[in-house]
């Protein structure tokens, strides 16, 4: 993933300390072979220094491409979370525990070092693609069913990346306005529902609650004071827009998402297909070790310490160092990009044309009530299969 907005305020063009060590030709060759074999095991083809996919890969094929990275995350998390699994599973519903007419969604902000944080991390491992833990500023929420105390879904917001062509074109940003008002945008790094609520279109509910008044209030409380590390700008606690991407190609969850008669989310295009998830399986630790030993460090602000900005920087530098093309970072999986304006004049505000933000009135309880009427209850009547789901199916580590 690219650097968050505040990272671009650093001395981007400089490099840190230079490594004195020089790898042997054998070390370079071994790492090249490891990288290429890892990509092939995931299902990628490599020709002329580029990754190749079928022109329109199915969602099942895209899930298979992510499988090794997801499995690696699950294995890595077992030591930290495995001993808590029995307890965490008590917060996952079986279908028989859901009464569609009595579902009562509530937002719970996740606090550090809490049981809710353990549940957030545990549930995140069930996504079909590897998820980020977020960058920079972060807000995390669980969505629970107050009727039975079970988890419906979760979402996390973090700093957005600095430059996204489709998003920036939709807003109408020039460079100066983007530098000034990007702090008023957040990106959903994870967003979705868990079964059996996902069978009842719970992902739509979670997406709607991202835009609730309660989330804007939480953002204001947390980020309306202080200043940025680099330039000393005063913090601005006004949240004008949330952006996110679909997990696999086009999204049926975000598309046509409405509250009353108003669209809440807009599709603005697709990502370009560049990233580093294809390296974040078992191979990444070896890339990181190689980078630490042999590659020039990325310059950072003195308050952040010296190292690499992010995983993408590590992968890019290692590929160049061992003689592989940077085009291997183009995995070719284009995801649909959505934006959720949180005010009538969100675009004008973000362009710097308006100084006041005219936020929508979207209380969480009203959003939830609309979702229940519009989607959940009719879905439960049409698709009663959710009632057969067992929470034991959510278990990751068998005893």
What Cα–Cα distance (Å) separates residue 361 from each residue in 102, 139, 260, 364, 390? Answer: 25, 20, 12, 10, 37
On average, the pLDDT of the chain sits at: 85
**Residue 1, pLDDT score:** 39
Tell me how far apart the alpha carbons of residues 123 and 103 are, in angstroms, rounded to a whole number: 20
Once rounded to an integer, what is the mean pLDDT over residues 99-103?
Answer: 97
Q: What is the largest CA-CA distance in the chain?
A: 67
- DSSP letter (8 states) at residue 19: P
Please state which of the ranges 56-65, 110-119, 377-386 shows the lowest mean pLDDT. 56-65
**Residue 19, pLDDT score:** 45
DSSP assignment string, 262-323 = EE--EEEEE--SB-SGGGSSTTHHHHHHHHHHHSPPBP--TTT-SB-SSHHHHHHHHHHHHT
Higher pLDDT pick, 121 / 71: 121
Coil, strand or helix at 379: helix
Contact 118, 80 (CB under 8 A): no
Once rounded to an integer, what is the mean pLDDT over residues 73-77?
Answer: 89
Q: What percentage of the chain's residues is helix, strand, coil (to nearest 5)? A: 45, 15, 40
Q: What is the pTM of this model?
A: 0.81
**Residue 234, pLDDT score:** 61
User: pLDDT tens, 190-233?
Assistant: 999 999 999 999 999 999 999 999 999 999 999 987 665 444 45
Once rounded to an integer, what is the mean pLDDT over residues 299-318?
Answer: 67
Pair type for strands 241-245 and 185-193:
parallel
Q: What are phi and psi of 378, to 5 degrees?
A: -60, -40
Structure tokens at 205: 């509910």
Nearest by Cα to 207 from 259, 283, 148: 259
- Domain 54-224+236-274+330-394, CATH number (from 3.30.1300.10, 3.40.1180.10, 3.10.20.30, 3.40.630.30): 3.40.630.30
Q: How confident is the model at residue 176 (pLDDT cuts 50, 70, 90)?
A: very high
Question: Any residues with CB less than 8 A from the CB of 201 and at least 6 apart, and which?
Answer: 193, 253, 375, 376, 379
pLDDT at 348 over 90: yes
Contact 351, 325 (CB under 8 A): no
DSSP assignment string, 161-217 = BS--HHHHHHHT--HHHHHHHGGGEEEEEEEEE-TTGGGGTHHHHHHHHHTSHHHHH
Contact 350, 184 (CB under 8 A): yes
**Residue 281, pLDDT score:** 66
Domain boundaries, the chain: 54-224+236-274+330-394
Q: How confident is the model at residue 318 (pLDDT cuts 50, 70, 90)?
A: confident
Question: Any residues with CB less than 8 A from the CB of 328 and at least 6 apart, and which?
Answer: 35, 39, 46, 49, 50, 51, 278, 319
């Amino acid at each position: 993933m690219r650097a968050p907005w505040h990272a671009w305020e650093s001395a981007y063009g400089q490099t840190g300390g230079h490594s004195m060590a020089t790898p042997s030709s054998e070390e370079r060759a071994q790492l090249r072979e490891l990288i290429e074999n890892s990509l092939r095991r995931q299902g990628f083809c490599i020709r002329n220094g580029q990754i190749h996919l079928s022109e329109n890969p199915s969602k099942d094929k895209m899930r298979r491409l992510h499988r090794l990275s997801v499995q690696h995350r699950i294995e890595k998390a077992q030591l930290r979370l495995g001993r808590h699994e029995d307890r965490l599973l008590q917060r996952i519903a079986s279908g028989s525990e859901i009464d569609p007419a009595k579902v009562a969604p509530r937002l719970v902000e996740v606090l550090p070092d809490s049981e809710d944080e353990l549940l957030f991390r545990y549930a995140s491992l069930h996504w079909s693609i590897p998820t980020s833990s977020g960058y920079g500023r972060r807000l995390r929420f669980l969505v629970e069913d107050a009727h039975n105390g079970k988890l419906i879904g979760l979402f996390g917001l973090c700093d957005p990346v600095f430059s996204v062509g489709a998003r920036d074109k939709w807003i109408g940003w020039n460079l100066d306005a983007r530098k000034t008002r990007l702090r008023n945008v957040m990106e959903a790094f994870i967003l979705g529902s868990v079964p059996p609520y996902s069978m009842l279109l719970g992902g739509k509910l979670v997406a709607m609650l991202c835009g609730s008044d309660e989330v804007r209030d939480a953002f204001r409380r947390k980020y309306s004071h202080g200043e940025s590390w680099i330039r000393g700008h005063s913090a601005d606690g006004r949240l004008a827009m949330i952006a996110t991407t679909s997990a696999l190609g086009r999204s049926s969850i975000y598309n046509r998402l409405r509250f009353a008669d108003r669209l809440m989310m807009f599709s603005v295009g697709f990502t370009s297909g560049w990233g580093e998830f294809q390296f974040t399986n078992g191979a990444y630790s070896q890339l990181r070790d190689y980078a630490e030993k042999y590659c020039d460090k990325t310059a950072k602000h003195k308050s952040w310490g010296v190292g690499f900005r992010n995983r993408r920087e590590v992968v890019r530098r290692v590929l160049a160092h061992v003689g592989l093309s940077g085009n291997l970072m183009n995995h070719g999986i284009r995801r649909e990009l959505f934006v959720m304006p949180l005010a009538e004049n969100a675009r004008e505000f973000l362009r710097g044309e308006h100084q006041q933000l005219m936020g929508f009135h979207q209380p969480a309880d009203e959003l939830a009530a609309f979702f229940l009427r519009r989607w959940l209850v009719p879905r439960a009547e049409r698709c009663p299969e959710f009632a057969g789901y067992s929470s034991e199916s959510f278990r990751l580590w068998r005893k």
